[in-house]
Amino acid sequence: MTSPSVSSELYGPVRDDVGKVDDLITALRPKDFPFLSNILDHVLEAGGKRVRPAVALLAGKLGAYDLELLIPLAASIELVHSASLVHDDVIDAAATRRGRATANALFNNAATVMVGDYMFANAADLVARTGNVEVVRLFARTLMEMTTGELQQDMSAYEYGQDTRKYFNRIYGKTASLFAAAAQGGGMVAGLQDEQCQALRSYGENVGMAFQIMDDILDFTADATELGKPAGSDLMNGTLTLPALLLIERDPEGNPVKRFFAGGKGKAENLRRALKQIRESDILDESFRVAHDFRDKGLAALANVGTADDPAIESLTDVAYWVTQRRN
């Protein structure tokens, strides 16, 4: 199946409502605090594909589609995602994201961290507008899972003694948990049965896992223009991803990833060798297969939610295929 581009075609029955999510987020900018507004403008103008809020809205389309509840939920999901990126950039001392200067590169770190906190607070306020205690609880649990995933990544930087189980746990928290919350939360707000909401959660979790694995693959295959950052950035930051893990498993002795993480003389050469070996082996093909396996598990879960000819199911299917075919 060929994936559609990120456009109105991909989001199908909710394409117009994704724009309403942006409108609500824009309305949150404080008019009486220009400094905060300027930083928020910079962060939010970076855009993005809005895939997470679109998933929440598409899940909502499978039940009682009440925009008074679903738009705040979808906006809260996008704000959590954006705020987590703001904090990531501060932690990584990143100068650019998607080819644009980061907020912390333009403003001081303290202000940037507080802006991220402001976005998290607004996200909490928005999700409370659903009036659904279980959705609020889901939101809180997801924040904990995301924070745990980020801590696991930061605390394991430059440690090569990791395995794929730890990697999967880490990317579940960092990325897949928010996809899962978007899909499950949309179903909960729309009044779907618990079995359907759990199936939607499985869809979101598995598609989110595929999304992060694709990100990790693109770090080795995409050029700087497509990726918005130099190739090999994950390794440079000490983050061990699936392709690098597979290289270590195949060649545990004298591995260039291990040597790069160890530092010392020849560090740049070890990074070059690691990138070269991964690109010239079948490691990336194996990583693609893992991403596709997660995607297919997500698609299988959709069978427990609705029929294949439902427009929302069709769009959720398109999103899953797009995730494993994107270039940035």
pLDDT along the chain (328 residues), means of 10: 52 94 90 86 80 98 98 97 86 70 78 90 97 97 93 79 87 97 98 98 98 94 68 85 92 85 84 92 96 98 93 97 89
> How is the chain split into domains, by residue range?
8-323
Per DSSP, helices labelled H in 93-171 are: 103-106, 109-128, 133-155, 164-171
Q: Residue 88's pLDDT is what? A: 80
Q: Residue 3's pLDDT is what? A: 37
Q: Could you count the other beta carbons within 10 Å of the beta carbon of residue 140?
A: 12
Q: Give per-residue pLDDT as tens, 43-77.
A: 887 767 899 999 999 999 999 999 999 999 999 99
Q: Residue 2's pLDDT is what? A: 36
Q: Residue 96's pLDDT is what? A: 67
Question: At which residue do the structure tokens 């905060």 appear?
Answer: 36
Given a contact cutoff of 8 angstroms between Cβ atoms, the answer to whether 124 and 76 are in contact is yes
CATH topology of domain 8-323: Farnesyl Diphosphate Synthase (1.10.600)
Q: Residue 5's pLDDT is what? A: 41
**pTM for the full predicted model:** 0.92
